[in-house]
Amino acid sequence: MIVCVCRRVTEREIRVAVRTGGASCLDSLGVELGVATQCGRCGDCARRIVCEEMGRTAASPTAGDERRASFAAAAATA
Per-residue pLDDT tens for 16-47? 999 998 899 999 999 999 999 999 999 999 99
Predicted local distance difference test score (pLDDT) of residue 65? 52
Q: Does domain 2-77 have CATH number 1.10.10.1100?
A: yes
Axis-axis angle for helices 63-77, 43-54 (nearest 10)? 170
How would you label 21-48 residue by residue, b for 16+ Cβ within 10 Å and e otherwise? eebbbbbbbbebbebbbeebebbbbbbb
Predicted local distance difference test score (pLDDT) of residue 21? 87
The widest CA-to-CA distance across the chain, in whole angstroms, is 36
The number of residues making up the chain comes to: 78
